Chains A and B, each alone.
Chain A
Amino acid sequence: MHRFCSVCVVLFSLVWPCLVQPQTPTSQPLGLTSLHEGNCSCALRLHHTEPTSQEGLVMTSRELNPQFYEASRAGRVVQHHLNTLYGSPFRVYVVTQVHTARTEDTGDDGMKYVLEFSVKDWASEGPECKASAEVLYPRGDVHQPPKVQSSPDGLLQANTSDKEQAFYQRYSAAAGPVSAKDIPDSYGHIDPEMEHFWHLAWVASSFIMLNESSENTLYSLAQVAKVTQLNIQDGQLRFELQVLLHDMVSQNINRWKLQVSWSPADGVQVLEMELLPRCHCKSQTRP
């Protein structure tokens, strides 16, 4: 059994007016990148660093084709990171496109990717925002999760707090604990009642997917195999989930069991997570 340190998430539900600003020149250490289209009310402030060099060390920097897999995989890591910080049953982020990417080999520390990308919240169908971030994949024989740089101010998004409160109230007071399986089902169908549990599973899975990511992985949530509501504890809704995670590179589907808590105030936390053994049997009825 793994114990995962819970991550406290503070959600911003401020809606900022669209900031019309000239593009920050790359000589500035901190970039505020804003979206200029129409009614966008989304600004993303992520830490943008210059290619750093320590005394006497020359950093090898390599420009990447943003369509190619190195950039895509790093973009996916950023996506997982954003979801662990800001995701909820009403907010799930996707990095839609990587615009520019380059690597910096920091030597012992690992390989750093510097990206500019677009991201949007597909759960509440928010606007698409441009942003930048850094991903550092540590080196070493034992796998360590990648580190993503984002500033404390983070992602601003559409106001979902009313919906979150309503959802929280509903399932705190529910007559019986919720339980469901196969979301989506084999035909891609999701019961409207289950949609927000699917979002919750995406966010919770992002903790695992982030943890498991390397330069040689590309994770998605393939399906929620099971969701079971547990008793409320300390004001948090709690659930046990079994999720199937798909890694595009190995094409493996891995089954994870996790215990998750959520409240509007405290966000999603993963309390426990466990990789379940694969079934290699003649009558293989599940991954």
Chain B
Amino acid sequence: KMKGLVIVLALFLCVFGKETFEGLSDSLLDFWTEPIHDSLAVDVRVPFHSLQAVRAFLGYHEIHYEIMIHDLQDLMDEEQREMMKSRASQPRTTDGYDYASYHTFSEITSFMDMLVQEKPNFVSKLVIGKSYEGRPLNVLKFSTGANRPGIWIDTGIHAREWVTPASGTWFAKKIVSDYGHDTVLTAILDKFDIFLEIVTNPDGFHFTHTSNRMWRKTRKPNDGSICVGVDANRNWDAGFSGAGSSNNPCSETYRGPSAHSEPEVKAIVDFVKSHGNLKAFVSIHSYSQMLLYPYGYTRTPCKDQAELDELAKKAVTDLKSLYGTNYKYGSIINVIYQASGGTIDWTYNQGIKYSYTFELRDTGRYGFMLPANQIIPTAEETWLALMAIMEHTKNNPY
């Protein structure tokens, strides 16, 4: 329990390094900002039982401080109450689910279970592994027959990109609604299974709900570092450790200690290898409004560049037809930046020709904090692009 204070220490730190605070035992103080420079303030959480000692220490050393939060537990309890209030009514069916709002990991998991329950002969839930913190890595399988080739879609690999799992949820419902009614989708599903992993990074996703909305990476601690997490889209074995990722655990693009070191990534790698017959692989991110194909780690064009480029052009044209949303398209390294160890570079090198990455809305106005009223329009237009990719995959067997 967080019964304690947060104290700001200001400006007199030039004389004192962190070593000075070892006058108090290390375990007493939880530094929220590190003492790194003598003119920068430091935020510290002080447990209740240490309050007296810390006040005395600060007073003796004439260190100026301000109390920012008097009782952290109160604040956290209040936050919990707020969240409970807005989560009061849970839907009983996927028809009652609110697709136009952002949901938590447990709500999305409940949605998946409801969908399977409603269409048990069509939808099943596979658990392909566990996250670092022990959350299930759930994949919905849409299948109308055995031994089919597959199409993979994932959303939510980067925690703060909330519109992606929100869209993924909508895609799941769309597939179930349109099968048997939309001729193109029905034809696709009569030849292929669709695999959909909605929350690909559940630990990170949970963290964006409870602690830091801007978190990107996984939540696995890094040996020898105070910094947590690995960029799951730099952890794949394709150009791993090359330019376009970082070897610093504190970086947002930290590649991890080795390729596939993250359980969230390893689970997909294992799935792809054991399935052995995936024909398209789409990994969905936000934001920037782009449809990208390999490579990110090298400027060498991939051998299917011409076909992937033409298909991307068709897909973004279809996407634009709905609401006029403009997408750029091209290889990762040309359109956005050099990125090594990326998902679709690996899947492409495994022989999955139709490997694409999306960057959904918008282009920076709201960025990661896309208003909830844009979830459904985003999902609807993106679906048209996905359909173009899936249809082309079906019509061009390899």
Stretch at the interface among A64-72, A173-181, A231-239: A64-72
- A283's contact among B32, B215, B334, B371, by CB below 8 Å, is which? B32
Do A222 and B253 touch (CB < 8 A)? no
Scoring A190, A278, A281 by chain B CB atoms within 10 A of each residue's CB, the highest score goes to: A281
- B12 lies within 8 A of chain A by Cβ: no
- Which residue of B101, B250, B251, B337 contacts A187 across the interface (Cβ within 8 Å)? B101
Q: How far is the CA of A182 from the CA of B132 in the complex (A)?
A: 30
Q: Which residues of A contact B372 (CB under 8 A)?
A: 187-189
Residues of B within 8 A of A188 (CB): 366, 369-372, 374
Chain A residues within CB distance 8 Å of chain B: 65, 67-69, 72, 94, 96-97, 122, 184-190, 220-223, 244, 246, 248-253, 277-287
Q: What is the bound-complex CA distance between A282 and B26, given in angstroms?
A: 14
Residues of A near B336 (CB, < 8 A) are 69, 248
Give the chain A neighbours of B215 by CB distance below 8 A. Answer: 284
For B250, list chain A residues within 8 Å (CB): 278, 280
Given that A67-B335, A248-B337, A253-B214 are known contacts, is A280 also in contact with B252, CB under 8 Å in the complex?
no
Cα–Cα distance between A72 and B327 once the two chains are bound (Å): 13
Given contact pairs A184-B366, A248-B288, A287-B214, A277 touches B40 in the complex (Cβ within 8 A): yes
Known: A187-B101, A280-B226, A285-B32. A69 touches B334 (CB 8 A): yes
Q: When chains A and B are docked, how far (Å) is the Cα of A164 from the Cα of B55?
A: 48
Give bound CA distance, A68 to B337, whole Å.
9
Which residues of chain B from 16 to 51 have a CB within 8 Å of any chain A CB? 30-34, 36-37, 40, 43, 45
Q: Which chain A residue shows the least CB distance to B158?
A: A251
Q: Assess A69 versus B335: contact at CB under 8 Å? Given A187-B101, A282-B228.
A: yes
State A186–B160 Cα separation when bound (angstroms). 10
The chain A residue with its CB closest to the CB of B31 is A281
Assess whether B216 is interfacial by the CB under 8 Å rule.
yes
Contact status A220-B32, CB under 8 Å? no
Determine whether B326 belongs to the interface, using a CB cutoff of 8 Å to chain A. Answer: yes
How many whole Å from B339's CB to the nearest CB in chain A? 10
Q: Could you show 17 A-B contacts with beta carbons less than 8 Å apart?
A: A68-B334, A69-B334, A94-B364, A186-B102, A188-B370, A220-B364, A222-B368, A222-B369, A223-B213, A246-B367, A253-B214, A277-B34, A277-B36, A278-B250, A281-B34, A283-B32, A283-B45
Task: Give the chain B neighbours of A284 by CB distance below 8 A.
Answer: 32, 211-212, 215, 228
Closest partner residue, chain A, to B328 (CB atom): A67
CB atoms of A280 and B212 under 8 A apart = no
Over the window 188-222 of chain B, the binary record of Cβ atoms lying under 8 Å from chain A Cβ atoms (1 yes, 0 no) is 00000000000000000000110111111000000
Number of B residues, CB within 8 Å of A? 49
Main secondary structure of the interface of B (DSSP, over half): loop
Q: Is the CB of A251 within 8 A of B367?
A: no
Distance of A157 Cα from B334 Cα, bound (Å) = 34
User: Cβ of B334 and Cβ of A244 under 8 Å apart?
Assistant: no
Interchain CA distance A187-B328 in the complex, whole Å: 26
Cα–Cα distance between A282 and B214 once the two chains are bound (Å): 15
Q: Does B365 contact A (CB under 8 A)?
A: yes
- How near does chain A come to B337, taking the closest CB pair, in angstroms? 5
Given A277-B40, A279-B33, A285-B212, 13 other A-B residues pairs in contact with their CB atoms under 8 A? A67-B329, A94-B363, A94-B365, A184-B366, A189-B372, A220-B367, A222-B369, A223-B213, A280-B250, A284-B32, A284-B211, A284-B228, A285-B211
How many inter-chain residue pairs (CB < 8 Å) link A and B? 113
A97 to B327, CA, bound (A): 11
Chain A residue nearest to B37 (CB atoms) is A277
Identify A277's interface contact among B33, B45, B226, B364, CB under 8 A: B33
Query: Which residues of the other chain, B, contact A249 by a CB distance below 8 angstroms?
Result: 337
Question: Which 5 pairs between the two chains have the least Cβ-Cβ distance?
Answer: A188-B371, A220-B364, A251-B252, A184-B369, A67-B328
Question: By the criterion CB–CB under 8 Å, are B330 and A68 in contact?
Answer: yes
Do the beta carbons of B212 and A287 come within 8 Å of each other? yes
Min CB–CB distance A233 → chain B (angstroms): 24
What is the minimal beta-carbon distance from A51 to any residue of chain B, in angstroms?
A: 24
Q: Give bound CA distance, A252 to B367, whole Å.
A: 13
Q: Is the CB of A185 within 8 A of B330?
A: no
Say if the beta carbon of B53 comes within 8 Å of chain A.
no
Alpha-carbon distance between A184 and B369 when the two chains are bound, in angstroms: 7
- A65 near B334 (CB under 8 angstroms)? yes
- Please tell me if B227 contacts chain A, counting CB pairs below 8 Å: yes
Closest chain A residue to B374, Cβ basis: A188
Give the CA-CA distance A286 to B102 in the complex, in Å: 20
B231 contact set on A, CB distance < 8 A: 251
* Distance, CA A253 to CA B251, complexed state (A): 11
A184 to B367: give the CA distance in the assembly, Å: 10
Among residues of B, the one whose C-beta sits closest to the C-beta of A188 is: B371
Distance between Cα atoms of A67 and B316 in the complex (Å): 13
Known A-B contacts A187-B369, A283-B211; A68 and B31 likewise in contact (beta carbons under 8 Å): no
Residues on the B chain within 8 Å of A283, using CB: 30, 32, 45, 211
A248 to B288, CA, bound (A): 9
Interfacial chain B residues near A72, Cβ < 8 Å: 328
Complex: A147 Cα to B193 Cα, angstroms: 53
A43 to chain B, nearest CB (A): 24
Q: CA–CA, A62 to B40, complex, Å?
A: 45
Nearest A-chain residue to B234, judged by Cβ: A251
Q: Is there an interface contact between A281 and B33, defined as CB atoms closer than 8 Å?
A: yes
Chain A residues with Cβ below 8 Å from B33 are 277-279, 281
A117 → B minimal CB distance (Å) = 13
**Contact residue among A67, A69, A186, A279 (Cβ-Cβ distance under 8 Å from B369):** A186
Kindly report which residue of chain B lies nearest to residue A275, judged by CB atoms.
B40
Q: How far is the CA of A249 from the CA of B288 in the complex (A)?
A: 12
Q: Give the Cβ gap from B3 to chain A, nearest Cβ, in Å.
A: 14
List the B side residues contacting A68 at CB < 8 Å. 330, 334-335
